Amino acid sequence: MTTSAPSVEPVDQADADQEIIGRVLAGSKDAFGVLIQRYSDPLYRHALGMTGSPDVAEDILQASFIKAYQHLGEVRGRFDAWVFRIVANSCKDWLKNIRRTHVSYEEDDQPSSFSTPEEEMDRNELRTDLEYALARLPESLREAFVMKHVEGRSYEEMAVLLETTVGALKMRVHRARESLQALLEEKYA
Amino acid sequence: MTDETPDAPAPEKPIHRKTPPATPMVQAWLDGEETRDHLATEDEQETAELWTRINSEAAQLRRRNTPIHVQSRILNSLTDLTALPDEPPAKGFKLSTPVVVLGGLVILVLGAVFGFMLVR
């Protein structure tokens, strides 16, 4: 598969974020809404991929943006990388505090794109198995896999966001694939 | 080393054959560095088939967006909060710049006087 991963955030986008941050710090609360709108989707997907629960992902997203708002003056460098780390750490904290035996997207209220009920049933089974297997991966492997395969990020972008090297991330993703395949293949190989 | 007798019954063929593990070439294909044409063996094609299904499911998850009510919920929750600048006003004693400059000059002059006296 060749995923069309988004490129690393362009510099002018980072400048635009800085300009918005300046407005927020000057008292414009509404300006923060622009940042929420700009970054909530990728952050939500990350939280959803890591926790497996839409409700938890929403709560983590809300708490993270509140934290970001209250500490906005501390942003150094790119806002998107900074707020990503808040969300990523919140997800890890949540995973540490809970022993997940089952994760489910069944609460999902997104419209289905399956053509037939049979196809939908097959896909739901695959999805459940994938979630089940993902929940069993160690945090660092799960994070790398979710960012690469679910969020469709490039290794370069992942390296910026996680503050590590491309080589280290490739190793994590490869190990995640091996582990995931071992967990999944009994189900539907 | 095992002592297997020549006429020992052959192990039963497993009902389900496991998908071969991803080779470096399959990993490279999954990383977008190679095309599927480069997967030469049947095993690699079999593994690729499994990953095509997994990726297809992952792509469904990639299309997920934040539920519409969440963004407004976040904004509403900011009502009583304030975005703070990084450096809060320092508490306690702090020297102003003119005082620091003046102090530096005094120390310099005193040092010169003491130096002059020692030389004499």
For residues B75 and A108, the model is more confident at B75
Helix (H) or strand (E) holding A176: helix A166-188
Q: What pLDDT sits at residue A178?
A: 93
Structure-block tokens of residue A103: 């994760």
Q: What is the pLDDT of residue B12?
A: 55
Q: How far apart are CA A120 and CA B45, in angstroms?
A: 25
User: Would you state the pLDDT for residue B19?
Assistant: 77
Q: Nearest-CA residue of chain A relative to B16? A: A186
- What is residue A186's predicted lDDT score, i.e. its pLDDT? 63
Q: Which two tokens stand for residue A106?
A: 């069944």
Mean pLDDT of A72-76: 90
For A110-149, the pLDDT digits (tens) are 444 445 555 555 666 777 888 888 888 999 999 999 999 9
| Nearest CB neighbour to A41, from listed B51, B55, B66 | B66
Q: Are B81 and A29 in contact (CB under 8 A)?
A: no
pLDDT in tens, B10-61: 555 555 567 788 889 999 999 999 888 888 888 899 899 989 988 988 888 8
- Chain B's closest residue to A120, CA to CA, is B57
Query: What pLDDT shows up at residue A46?
Result: 95
pLDDT in tens, A20-70: 999 999 988 889 999 999 999 999 999 999 998 999 999 999 999 999 999
- The neighbour count for residue A8, using CB atoms within 10 Å, is 18
The one-letter amino acid code at A95 reads: L
Does the beta-carbon distance from B83 to A72 stay under 8 Å?
Answer: yes
Residue pLDDT, tens place only, A75-114:
988 999 999 999 999 999 999 887 544 444 444 444 444 4
> Angle between the A166-188 and B42-62 helix axes, to the nearest 10 degrees?
100
Q: Record the pTM.
A: 0.71
Q: A113: Cβ–Cβ under 8 A, 6 or more apart, which residues?
A: B60
pLDDT at B1 over 50: no
Which of A185, A187, A188 should one mutate to test binding to chain B, selecting the residue with the greatest count of B CBs within 10 A?
Answer: A185
Q: Which residue has the higher pLDDT, A62 or B81?
A: A62
CB contact under 8 A, A61 and B58: no
Q: Are the CB atoms for A139 and A95 separated by under 8 Å?
A: yes
Residues of B in contact with A180 (CB under 8 A): 54
Identify the pLDDT of residue A116. Answer: 55
Query: Of the candidates B61, B29, B45, which has an alpha carbon nearest to the alpha carbon of residue A54?
Result: B61
B interface with A, Cβ–Cβ < 8 A, is 16-19, 21-22, 27, 29-32, 35, 47, 50-55, 57-62, 64-67, 70-71, 73-75, 77-78, 81-87
Query: Amino acid identity, residue A136?
Result: R
Mutate to test the interface with B, among A2, A20, A145 (most CBs of B within 10 A): A2
- In the predicted model, is pLDDT for residue B87 greater than 90? no
ipTM above 0.90, yes or no: no
In this complex, which of B52, B74, B87 lies closest to A1 when CB atoms are compared? Answer: B52
